[in-house]
Structures are given as C-alpha cells and as structure tokens.
Structure 1
Amino acid sequence: MSTLLRPWRTLTCAALALTGLALEQAIAAEPVDVELVLAVDVSLSMSPGELEIQREGYAAALTDKHVLDAIRQGMNGRIAVTYFEWAGTTTQRVVVPWTIIETRDDAEAVAAKLSATPPNSARRTSISSALEFGSDLFAESPFQGAKRVIDISGDGPNNQGAPVDLVRDTVVAQGIVINGLPLMTNSGLISAYDVADLDRYYNDCVIGGPGAFMIPVNGWSQFPEAVRRKLVLELAGPAWQRQAGEVAAHPPVILADARSSYDCMVGEKLWRDRSGMWDSR
C-alpha cells in the first residue's frame, strides 16, 4: 500500500472506531421516559428559610402519589432525574446526580439526598450559565430519555453571563424543553435587581421548546403545590387538552405563548446601573 494512503486509512479507522463507540454507548444507555434536570436558584436574594422551603418542596413533590402515578404510567415506567443548585456564572452544585426513579423507594432515596446537607447561597444570578450547565448534564447522563427537560426556578432576571435568550435558543435547538418556575415571592416589594413581571420575563426570555410552560409562584405557601403540579405535567406529556383543570388551577399553569418585545437584557442593565450597590444578586 502506498505510504500516502496510510494516514488516511488510519484516520478512517479511528473515525469508524469512534462511531462504533458512540453506537455502543447509545445502545447501552438505559431507556427512561424523561430525563429531568431540576435547576434551583440559591442566590443571596433568598433567605436560608426560603432555601429550605425549596428543598422540602421538591422532596415532597417527588414522593407525591400523583407524581409517582405519572411516572408509572409512562411507556418505561421510570424517569431519570438530577438536581443542582445555581447562582452566578461559577456556582453550580449537583446535589443529586443522575438517579432513576421507578418506585416510591427510589423517590424517597432522592428526597433523603435533598435533606442530607443544607443548601448554601451564593452571589449573582446567571440563568444562562444554569441552562448551559443543565444541558451539559445530559451529555453525562447514562440514560436515554424520550424527552429531555430542564426545570428551572428563580426569583430574578439574569444579571451575569451570556444573554439568557441566546442560550435558551441554543439549548432548545438541542431538543431540550425548558420549563420555568418564576418565584414572585416578594409580596410586591421590588428590590433594586427585581422585575415586577418576572413571569413575562420567563415567557419571553427563559422557557422554550415543544409544550414549554411555567407556573408563577406568588407566595411561598404556593411553592409545594406548584412543584408537584409542574412535575405531573412534565411527566404526563404535552396533551394540554387533557390538562384543562390543571391549567385553570391556582397558581395557574401558563403555556409558552408568542414572544413580545420584552428586553431580555433587563437584569444586566439593572446590575450595571446599580453597580455601586452591595453585590448580592
């Protein structure tokens, strides 16, 4: 064989080997109905008590009968879930690595992990970095989901990192659905870094993908029920016509609608205009 052809043959063999490895990994991946990333805001705008409410709310929702029923009714009867907490661009902490939930015991094991260590808050709010981190978690997943969802909660707009709407579009283009839980829990008191219509911000700048939705939370007493209902809908699929009762419930489920001219850089502008203030959000 000509020595000129040998490098090309080597490269071709290497490419085929990598392709074969990818196929083996895909075949080996355990099928699940949903791969679910729970991304939870722990920025300094929330008190330690509010951080605990979030942990407890997710733990209660994952072990709720309606959520477990929704899991069992799937084609595979199991989901894969991971839970991480986020704040600024460099703050993403995985609390629960990828874990199968198929039975109540599985769900209770996840809930126990959520209760094992206290949450820690951190500075700034980078929804865009949280979405990037969440999308990277799918590449590490040993499971193959019929649907991939990032479920993100937060109490303020993006004020650090890449523009959130651009990252949202990149993540959605990967076939990932982004649902939201905007935490409008300040009882009408707006801080220097807040926006009054955080639900509209989430609609226009954060959520996306087929069947994407959000559930605004207007008070911490609503949080456990909002999380429970959001999980049921995510696991039940996008047949919204069967969910009329859920959509009409309180707090309401809001389906993603047409984008308006909302300024998705509002958080960055608020931060810039108040850069001399205490570095909290």
Structure 2
Amino acid sequence: MNRRLFLGAALAAPALLRTASARAATPVDVELVLAVDVSRSVDPEEQEMQFSGYEAAFRDPRLIEGIMGGPLGSIACTMFTWSDWHIQNTVVPWMHLNGPEAANRFADAIANAPRRTWLYTSISGAIDHAAKQFGQGFEGTRKVVDISGDGVNNSGRPLAEARAEALEQGIVLNGLAVLDRTPTPLSLAAALPPLDDYYRNEVIGGPGAFLVVAEGFEAFDAAVRRKIIREIAAVPAPGPQIERFA
C-alpha cells in the first residue's frame, strides 16, 4: 500500500510542479528581450553609445508612461549581448517593470553591465538564444525580441532557419539596424546588401514587426527610445515598417 502511494505521488509530482510553475508566472503586457550586438565591428565608443541609449530609454518618462499605460500596467524585460554563434551573455536578468522605480533599477543595471567585445556577428545565434529566454517567471500577452546590430549574419547556422523557428513560436522579431559610418573596403561593400534592406527582408518578422534605422551610432539614443516605446504599446499602433533616425 505504501509503495503504491509512493508511486502515485511520484507520478503526480511533475504535473503538480507544472501547475505550480504556471500559477507562479506573473502576467505582463509584454515579455521583451533586448539583444545587443557586441561584435568586433562595434568599437568601445560605439558600444558605450548603445548601452547609454538603452539606459536613457528606461529613464525616459514617456517610456515609463507607456509601460504603465498597458492593460496590466507592466512588462518584463531582460538584456543580453551577442556576437559569435556560441557567445551570448545575459547582462541584465529578467525584471518586472511596473513604474518609475523599477524602470530606473533596470536602467541602473544597464549602466553597471560589463562591456565586452568579441569577433563575429551571429544574428541566428542571437535569435536562437532569445527564443529560449521566454517563460522564465512571466507570461506576456506578446513576446518580442529587439535585435540591434550593425552587420549581417556571418557566424552560426543559416539566419532563415533561426528566424522561421522563432516565428513559429509566436515571437515577434523587431530590428534596430545601425548604419555604421566607418568606411568599408569597396570590395567588401559591393558584396554586402544594404543593412537596412537586409534587416527588413531577413531579420524582422511576426505580427506588426518593424525596423528602426539609426544613421550612425550617434543616432542610436533617439532610435532606441522610439523603438521600445512602440514595442511596449498596449495595442501597437499601425506605423511604418521602417523608421529612420539621423
């Protein structure tokens, strides 16, 4: 009898754990993953502009108002940096943002995050990693990945495969393409598609997906603020698929 009770309890345990996990998930308007390019083409000054841009965005009263204006009045957000196919580092873990205090804590975490530079540009690796981050204590009405970068996929598996798998999971992929003004050798430039076209055609996808283009890292601050405000909108307003900031 005791053995049967033990076996019954053992069989029931996984279901109970799943139920407890589901109950523990905090409902939010959006689960937002920020994926930041730190490949070799992003020099230390440009990397600092990226981090400062994200930090400033989460201190912006307009963004905080947008967070609090949703049906649930909160979002969940995390940030990781990416480069080679196997290099993705979480720099800010998932946080529940429901007002100025929480948003500023997130901004503080970005300000204190480590700055590192690696080699290659694996957008496919970034998408694969981002897709695995959802469902960690939060349940969002929408799941959004915000990918910022200044180059095309040159490491890891084909980008089309990673993109298709993420879209099948109901994840929206938005892009922030930075048109780096550093001169590119003519032979290399001729072989590469314009980055804004590349991001529009190969990276973004899902309902309401859009692309923000920063004309150089100097425009990153304004671009990232606009992008996140649009992403967290309770009902994303119809807007241009591409927005540009100079």
Q: What TM-score do the two structures reach when normalised by structure 2?
A: 0.89
Hey, what does 1:162 align to over in structure 2? 157
SS at match of 1:153: strand
1:209 aligns with 2:206: yes
The amino acid of 1:165's aligned partner reads: A
The amino acid of 1:49's aligned partner reads: E
Which runs of structure 2 are paired with 1:67-216 in the superposition (5 Å)?
67-139=63-135, 141-186=136-181, 189-191=183-185, 192=188, 195-216=192-213
* Richer in strand (by share): 2
- Contact 2:180/2:215 (CA < 8 Å) preserved in 1? yes
Q: 1:171 to 1:16 in 2, by over 3 A?
A: farther
Q: What TM-score do the two structures reach when normalised by structure 1?
A: 0.78
Which runs of structure 2 are paired with 1:226-265 in the superposition (5 Å)?
226-237=223-234, 239-241=236-238, 243=239, 250-251=244-245
Hey, what does 2:218 align to over in structure 1? 221
1:46 aligns with 2:42: yes
Q: 1:249 to 1:210 in 2, by over 3 A?
A: closer
Unaligned segments of structure 2, at least 5 residues: none
Q: Equivalent pairs: percent with the same residue?
A: 39
Superposition deviation, residue 120 in structure 1:
0.5
Q: What root-mean-square deviation, in Å, do the aligned CA atoms of Structure 1 and Structure 2 show?
A: 2.4
Count of aligned pairs: 240
Question: What are the Cα deviations for residues 110-143 of structure 1, in whole angstroms up to 9, with x where unaligned?
Answer: 111112144110011111111111111114x111
Question: What are the Cα deviations for residues 23-72 of structure 1, in whole angstroms up to 9, with x where unaligned?
Answer: 22112101111111000000011110000000000000111111111101
The amino acid of 1:36's aligned partner reads: L
- Name which one, 1 or 2, has greater alpha-carbon Rg: 1
Q: 1:23 to 1:183 in 2, by over 3 A?
A: same
Question: What are the Cα deviations for residues 200-222 of structure 1, in whole angstroms up to 9, with x where unaligned?
Answer: 11122111111111101112222
SS at match of 1:215: strand
